[in-house]
Structure 1
């Protein structure tokens, strides 16, 4: 098994995202989706900008107009809009149903990577994809155990599907820019686009109610840690996976996030880990091993 930088970063992104989700489990009850998205991305932007400057010794990156526009649009589309819709769907459907909807992400990236980037997967990688997908399905809570019964299931599913599609499009359109430019600076530009888009939404009178919250009810320390880990570190590693590995491979490895979430839930929150979940974890990591075995030395 030979793991490259891109594959390692994709797996690291999945693990840190799951860690951030565990920390942020109760944030949705105190912050509406749009406000949560704005605070998380704004905080990460403040932290990452000086780090990006240090990484280039105070020099701004040299980007073409097209690269700059793609970076900003990717942030608006993939973070400002997609993440807000994702949080909305998560609130409407619950984690179990949204986890099933989220399984559309890697197939979409595979198709978009095939059409627009000319990427192809080998036999071992297709086997890895099938095993990872199977493991994620096993780990996902089966319908009979769903405890939430949303009154607008179809609306929630449509919102979730749109959010996943926007995420896939936003990352594939940025793949060539990532390969040519500084990872930290592209992350900063995406965040700038996202925060700018969210602030414009906040200024729109009809959208202001979606940003309203009670400050005293928000667990601010938890929000800060969840943002820096689950949003900041995870995003850098996530983009790094797409920079240094094929988009299709990075997307498949990102699917392991739900498995890491189950593992962290069992170890940290003492949530029960049944035989179905254990089988799903084993299947997922077998699929990851197949993906990594297919990587040329």
Structure 2
């Protein structure tokens, strides 16, 4: 797995994100969605701590630049808010319709990447982003089976 490309890692991320929706939907059936997020976070901390211990990837906390702390902290706040909203949505809606709306983040990442990180997307890339957004909306619409 060491030689896996960014595309390979992205595909694995998509697989695990899909499993997150399915397992999460079942997991929030009998518990408050905010508490479910807390339980999930505990598992993540334990798993990552074990992973870092096994792979020897711990780093001295004092060696991490202040700017890194600020942005990782902001990322953590955004992640926590996202998870709270996601689990609440899963508790209230169908996983097959919640997850695609959550993936509208693809559109937002593209826009934010251009606005804040100076990234550039081609016309074809923007068409792809628009198709992802359109697909998410179409999947989320509750239509009566015909």
Give TM-score, length-normalised by structure 1.
0.41
Any idea what SS the aligned residue of 1:145 has? coil
Match of 2:72 in 1: 71
**CA 1:135–1:58 in structure 2 vs 1: closer, same or farther (change >3 Å)?**
closer
* Residues 236-288 of structure 1: per-residue CA shift (max 9 Å, x gap): xxxxxxxxxxxxxxxxxxxxxxxxxxxxxxxxxxxxxxxxxxxxxxxxxxxxx
Q: Where does residue 49 of structure 2 map in the other structure? A: 49
How far apart are the structure 2 equivalents of 1:90 and 1:25?
A: 5
| Count of residue pairs brought into register by the alignment | 142
Question: Which structure's relative contact order is higher, taking Cα pairs within 8 Å and 6+ residues apart?
Answer: 1
Measured on the aligned residues, the alpha-carbon RMSD in Å equals 2.9
Give CA deviations for 1:79-111 in whole Å, capped at 9, x if unaligned.
Answer: 2x2211222233334446534643532221111
**Partner SS, residue 143 of structure 2:** helix
How far did residue 25 of structure 1 move? 3.0
2:143 match: 144
Give the equivalent residue in structure 2 for 1:9: 9
Shift of 1:118: 0.2
Moved over 6 A (4+): none
Report the equivalent of 1:104. 104
CA distance in 1, matches of 2:58, 2:52: 8
Checking the alignment, whether the CA contact within 8 Å between 2:113 and 2:119 is kept in structure 1 is yes
Query: Which structure 1 residue ranges, 5 or more long, are not aligned?
Result: 147-297
